[in-house]
Amino acid sequence: MRRLIVATAATALVVAAFAGNTAAQENLRVLVHQNPPFVEFMEDFNAQFEADNPDIKVDMAIVNANDLSTSQQTRLIANDVDVIDIFAFHNATQPYMEDTDPPSWQSYIDAGLLMDITDQPFVANYDPVSIADAGTYNDRVYQINLGRVGFSGIYYNKDLFAENGIEVPTTWSELVSACETLTAAGTPCMTAGGSDGWPIFVGAYGLLGSAFPDAGALVEGLWTGEIEYTDPEWVDLLSKYQVYNRDMMEPGASALPGDGAPGRFASGAVAMFPGGTWYGPAIEANEPDFDWGYMPFPGSDDPEMNKSMFGKYDQGWAIAENSSKKDQALKYLAAFSEPDTYQAFVDMVGPIPTQPTATLNTKIGQELAPYLESFQLGHETVWIAPRGSGQWAYPPGVNMFQPFGTFDDPQAAADQAQSDLDSGLDALH
């Protein structure tokens, strides 16, 4: 079985042997999002792929995750890409959603911009459930999904917990108390990559999930008016968001880059780090001997409401329908999908595998294992806003509060969120 070769001297010699014959090479244009462990893996994979296929040169472009959708659309329309890194197909428009904009992936398919890969042999390497849930549209497969991730958990420093007599919190009140104890002892409670914007969301999904565990029911309720942001349950949730953003986060978190947060946590500078499971490999790489754990975010004072881990099917591969290099692109995806190569990807990047033969061998995999049976899709995976809604209509709403946002008053934030949602709903009627 072929194994992924990290850029060794042998690989370099093979690549060099063909360096003088670049005129005969075909450039395969690949677009991926910035995720350090994933990018590192892809650089090694690309070197091996080029060595195995000397007639193909991989031209990999890396963009910030916030810019991925825009880059995809621009390059697909311009016929300037062959293979794209694309997030899962799990937020298609629903019957109760009137006259709204579909997610980008649905628009790509409707516009004929993604290749139908239903009958490709490598699709069979993946779990049929993941293919159906995260890569299929109108009964045709357009994506192979590479894994699930959890994003509602908290990394915690076991040594700092022990030194301060803190048990792993199972309720919101226990979490508040733990942060108060740590702060009094001179240790900041939490950090996050606040300068990137989105990292503050991921940890707070636990708060949202504890209050509204059924993501589909929540989204439908907001659309139909059965649930409003001004309901007492929402104001209470927003009050917790305020405590999370303002009181639990260390003062410098709003300026910390996303890539810097795992290292800061691993250094022992803070006790906790709310974040997705994809950070696990980076934490291990920073401090291999660091003793840490991963727990669900306890957003409720009912422990039974805090046992689920929320997440999503994450990134996958798709091929541009208008690519002139479909054969090369299919070869690329087939090579990536080889079980040994995919296992190497899982080991380095750390997702919950979508190939049934792959195993979770990482530290984060071990920490996540007890929660896999209660794993649920997070709210971002099903949310689509009514066309014309304001920026605060997005259910998590965590970035509304200082120091990351603009609001200090939970009731004012609730009123603004409902107003922004109503601006879209009212336009439908």
Q: Could you tell me the two tokens for 8?
A: 């060794």
Paired residues of 320 in beta bridges:
114
Mean pLDDT of 247-256: 92
Judge contact between 292 and 157, C-beta under 8 A: yes
pLDDT tens for 369-391 read 888 888 888 887 888 889 999 99
Work out the percent of the chain whose per-residue pLDDT is above 90: 64
Indicate the residue type of 322. N
φ, ψ of residue 410 in degrees (nearest 5): -55, -40
Amino acid at 95: P
Phi, psi of 278 (to 5 degrees): -70, -15
Q: What is the mean pLDDT of residues 71-82?
A: 96
Query: Virtual CA dihedral for 27, 28, 29, 35, nearest 10 degrees?
Result: -120
The reported pLDDT for the residue numbered 198 is: 83
- What pTM does this model have? 0.78
Domains belonging to the chain, first-starting first, are 9-149+312-374 (3.40.190.10), 153-308+385-428 (3.40.190.10)
Enter the tokens of residue 246.
């303002």
User: What pLDDT, on the 0 to 100 scale, is given for residue 375?
Assistant: 83
User: Which tokens sit at 275?
Assistant: 């974040």
**Section 77-105 average pLDDT:** 89
Q: Which two three-digit tokens encode residue 180?
A: 């108060």
* 288 — pLDDT class (breaks 50, 70, 90): confident
pLDDT for position 24: 65
Q: How far is CA 226 from the centre of its chain?
A: 29
Q: Residue 3's pLDDT band (boundaries 50, 70, 90)?
A: very low
Secondary structure, 3-state, the chain = CCCCCCCCHHHHHHHHHCHHHHHHCEEEEEEEECCHHHHHHHHHHHHHHHHHCCCEEEEEEEECHHHHHHHHHHHHHCCCCCEEEEECCCCCCCCCCCCCCCCHHHHHHHCCCECCCCCCHHHHHCCHHHHHHHCEECCEECCEECCEEECCEEEEEHHHHHHCCCCCCCCHHHHHHHHHHHHHCCCCCECCCHHHCCHHHHHHHHHHHHHCCCHHHHHHHHHHCCCCCCCHHHHHHHHHHHHHHHHHECHHHHHCCHHHHHHHHHCCCCCEEECCHHHHHHHHHHCCCCCEEEEECCCCCCHHHHCCCEEEECEEEEEECCCCCHHHHHHHHHHHCCHHHHHHHHHHHCCECCCCCCCCCCHHHHHHHHHHHHCEECHHHCCCCCCCCCHHHCCCCHHHECCCCCECCHHHHHHHHHHHHHHHHHHHC
Determine the angle formed by the axes of helices 410-425 and 232-242, rounding to 10 degrees. 120
